[in-house]
Amino acid sequence: MGADDGDGGDSGAVILVGAVAGSSLEHAARASAKATAHISAGGRRIAACYRPAAAYNPDVSDLEPKPASASQVTLVQLMEITDANIAGLVHGGVIMKLVDTAAGIAAFKHAGGLCVTVSMDEMSFLEPVHVGDTVTVEASVNDVGRTSLEVGVRVESEDIRTGERTHTSSAYLVFVALDEEGRPRSVPPVLAETEEELRRQHEAKIRRETRIAHREAIEELRRRV
């Protein structure tokens, strides 16, 4: 290759690199703009989650009682290989996630806005769930305090080959409703309309009293130590 060829080659290379660099800068600028737009959209979505309860349901601001049936939620999901533990059964954590999801939706429906999980008061695993089964998770608000809600959840598995259903788990979760500033806010009373709903509400009150007594007993013990 001659000197001119070499100079021409170097000059071409410089032009090519410059073009790539310019293209990269333009691509980076477009990506940055998209990221900024995505962040802005995400911010709007987050802000929407913290809208005042009245923005979701104007009646909530009046704290009118809402029937327990209005918060009922049912989720159904097929259990797959990825849901299994080393024993070949469905992992308990998979069931707990479904329980928390269903309970959270029920709490949201009753409160008319954002609710966060405070505690899982009780979680019982009564029977194993097998890969290939469908899992049905039913949740509803049992009772409320001033800002808190107790949600009861029942889990059943079904062998889709035989149709046999098994009660596999029960759980009680406590949520707190939050306002647009992330602070606890009041929630509507629960209206129990059936004997079963009245029983659940009464049992929820007992569990609440037990939780409070347990916490106070622990605090008193720690003060003495």
Q: pLDDT tens for residues 22-60?
A: 444 454 455 555 544 444 444 444 444 444 445 444 444
- Encoding tokens for residue 34? 């998209």
By CB neighbour count within 10 A (0-12 exposed, 13-18 middle, 19+ buried), where does 53 fall?
Answer: buried
Six-digit token pair at 218?
């622990």
Given a cut of 80, is residue 161 above it in pLDDT? yes
What local confidence, expressed as pLDDT, does residue 26 receive? 54
pTM: 0.71
Q: What is the CA radius of gyration of the chain?
A: 28
Separation between Cα atoms, residue 108 and residue 139, nearest integer Å: 12
- pLDDT at residue 67 above 80? yes
For 100-157, the pLDDT digits (tens) are 999 999 999 999 999 999 999 889 999 999 999 999 999 999 999 999 999 999 999 9
CA–CA distances in Å: residue 152 to residues 57, 142, 146: 23, 6, 18
The yes-or-no verdict on residue 14 having pLDDT over 50 is: no
Question: Which secondary-structure segment (H or E) carries 165?
Answer: strand 165-177
Cβ distance 169 to 124 under 8 Å? yes
C-alpha dist (Å) from residue 83 to 77, 102, 180: 11, 18, 36
Taking 80 as the threshold, does the pLDDT of residue 79 lie above it?
A: yes
Q: So what's the pLDDT on residue 33?
A: 53
